[in-house]
């Protein structure tokens, strides 16, 4: 695993990250220096995947703090309230973005409070100190993501065996996180153990994260991956080629209902029909206990050209009506287990979720 790509790093006053829209043809690196560039990179899906969006937004927030030229900690705090709302507006569904912004805002508050208490201190020096603390927090979010995803992978391994087939959707690997991925973490760790796992990757219409990103990164890692069109999932399941479906999540509501890339719900219906376990893998930062159920999750709708003109080539009649929700919600009844860094929650529902979240929040 040592030679895995490091898709996001903050170095020399800039955020350096792989431009996911260029893959797999070109491995191009973006160098982002302003919060506006970070916002656009998230909105245009140059970086995507719930944990990756959270990390990048956290760095963007710290970068905005550095360039705010605030004279006092109080002034900095006021400016960052606007930055938080701005970054949160980049994409609506993945709760990790909002989680990261809440966390950065809480750290801002506590650092500014501490700075205020230092009577006679040079206020500009205090601002610099707060900014340094915000970069530390962004780095902590990234480091914790790596540890959490590795733990998710270890927990996924308890549900896997050598020689099995796994179907996955969208991209939940290195590119979507800091290193190990979520649903792909078990596959990386299984490979590290010398197990053979045959992965079937849905191409994932309309933006093709499966074809462009998952197929690419699993191939790079030397894992047996077969690309299929989304509408081939039932055939692969009926033919007995897969013994589990493993997907990620963008937001998990209090009752276990899970928003993930459009097409996930259909896979869960199919998996239940064929008696194949359907696993959701996600860190706790994807849990949104303030949202009671899937019906309350805001689903992003994206530009119709993703469907009518994929990758710049018109494939549909002019003026055709288009509906392009980027995510769907899988009802918790269809989920065999949610796999987190703190363990596996079988058959998640409100009671199971409450007991589990009660344990880790206390
Ligand atoms: O629109 P995207 O590509 O950001 O959607 C990403 C997904 O739906 C992933 O499956 C999910 O974020 C899990 S990422 C580890």
* 40: pLDDT strictly greater than 70: yes
Cα(230) to centroid of ligand 1, in Å? 16
Provide the pLDDT for residue 281.
98
* 19: pLDDT strictly greater than 90: yes
**What CATH number belongs to 161-361?**
3.40.50.10470
SS percent in the chain: helix, strand, coil, step 5:
50, 15, 35
Cα(170) to centroid of ligand 1, in Å? 6
CATH of 8-150, one of 2.102.10.10, 3.40.50.620, 1.10.600.10, 1.20.120.420: 1.20.120.420
Average pLDDT over residues 255-270: 98
Contact 179 CB / ligand 1 (< 6 Å): no
Average pLDDT over residues 66-93: 96
Q: With bands split at pLDDT 50, 70 and 90, how would you rate the model's confidence at 84?
A: very high
Q: What tokens does 3 get?
A: 């030679």
Distance of alpha carbon 162 from alpha carbon 306, whole angstroms: 38
Residues of the chain with CATH 3.40.50.10470: 161-361
Torsion of CA 166, 171, 173, 177, to 10 degrees: -150
Closest to 175 measured CA to CA, from 53, 52, 54: 52
* 182: pLDDT strictly greater than 60: yes
- Alpha helices by DSSP H, listed for 252-336, are 264-274, 305-308
Residues of the chain with CATH 1.20.120.420: 8-150
What's the chain's length in residues?
Answer: 362
DSSP string, 156-194: HHTT--TT-EEEE-S--SGGGSSSS-STTHHHHHHHHTT
Q: With bands split at pLDDT 50, 70 and 90, how would you rate the model's confidence at 4?
A: confident
Q: What tokens does 48 get?
A: 């995507």
* pLDDT tens readout for residues 299-315: 999 999 999 999 999 99
Cα(85) to centroid of ligand 1, in Å? 21
Closest ligand 1 atom to the C-alpha of 181? 15
Sort residue 102 into left (φ over 0), alpha (ψ -120 to 50) or beta.
alpha
* Element spanning 260, H or E: strand 258-261
Contact 197 CB / ligand 1 (< 6 Å): no
Ligand 1 mutation target, pool 250, 299, 325, 341, most atoms within 8 A of CB: 250
Provide the pLDDT for residue 361.
65
Provide the pLDDT for residue 121.
74
* 119: pLDDT strictly greater than 70: no
Which listed residue (145, 202, 250, 257) is catalytic? Answer: 250
Q: What is the mean pLDDT of the chain?
A: 96
Contact 250 CB / ligand 1 (< 6 Å): yes
Ligand 1 mutation target, pool 20, 50, 181, most atoms within 8 A of CB: 50
Helix axes 50-67, 73-88, angle to 10 degrees: 150
* pLDDT tens readout for residues 264-300: 999 999 999 999 999 999 999 999 999 999 999 999 9
Backbone φ and ψ of 337, nearest 5° = -165, 150
Task: Assign 312 to helix, strand or coil.
Answer: helix
Distance of alpha carbon 136 from alpha carbon 15, whole angstroms: 14
Contact 257 CB / ligand 1 (< 6 Å): no
Closest to 249 measured CA to CA, from 157, 355, 136, 340: 340
Q: With bands split at pLDDT 50, 70 and 90, how would you rate the model's confidence at 362?
A: low
Cα(311) to centroid of ligand 1, in Å? 19
Min mean pLDDT across 34-48, 67-81, 109-123, 194-208 is at 109-123
122 is catalytic: no
């Amino acid at each position: 695993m040592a030679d895995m790509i490091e898709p996001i790093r903050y170095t020399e006053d800039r955020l350096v990250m792989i431009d996911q829209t260029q893959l797999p043809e070109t491995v191009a690196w973006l160098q982002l220096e302003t919060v506006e560039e970070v916002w656009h990179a998230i909105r245009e899906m140059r970086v995507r995947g719930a944990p990756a969006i959270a990390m990048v937004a956290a760095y963007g927030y710290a970068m905005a703090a550095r360039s705010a030229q605030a004279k006092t900690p109080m002034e900095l705090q006021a400016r960052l309230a606007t930055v938080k709302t701005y970054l949160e507006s980049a994409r609506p569904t993945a709760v990790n973005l909002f989680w990261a912004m809440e966390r950065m805002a809480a750290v801002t508050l506590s650092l500014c409070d501490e700075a205020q208490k230092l009577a006679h201190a040079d206020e500009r020096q205090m601002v610099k100190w707060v900014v340094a603390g915000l970069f530390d927090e962004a780095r902590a979010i990234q480091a914790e993501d790596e540890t959490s995803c590795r733990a998710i992978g270890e927990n996924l391994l308890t549900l896997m065996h050598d020689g099995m087939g796994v179907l996955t959707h969208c991209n939940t690997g290195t590119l979507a996180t800091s290193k190990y991925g979520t649903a792909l973490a078990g596959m990386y760790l299984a490979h590290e153990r010398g197990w053979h796992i045959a992965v079937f990757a849905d191409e994932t219409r309309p933006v093709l994260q499966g074809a462009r990103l998952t197929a690419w990164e699993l191939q790079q890692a030397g894992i047996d991956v077969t690309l299929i069109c989304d509408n081939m999932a039932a055939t692969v399941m009926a033919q007995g080629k897969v013994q589990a479906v493993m997907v990620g999540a963008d937001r998990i509501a209090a009752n276990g209902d899970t928003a993930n890339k459009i097409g996930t719900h259909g896979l869960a219906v199919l998996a239940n029909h064929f008696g194949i376990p359907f696993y959701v893998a996600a860190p706790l930062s994807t849990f949104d206990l303030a949202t009671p159920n899937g019906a309350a999750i805001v689903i992003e709708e994206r530009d119709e050209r993703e469907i009518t003109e994929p990758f710049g080539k018109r494939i549909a009649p002019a003026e055709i009506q288009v509906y392009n929700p980027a995510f769907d919600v899988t009802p918790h009844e269809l989920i065999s287990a949610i796999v987190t860094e703190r363990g596996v929650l079988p058959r998640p529902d409100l009671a199971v979720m409450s007991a589990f979240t009660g344990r880790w929040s206390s």
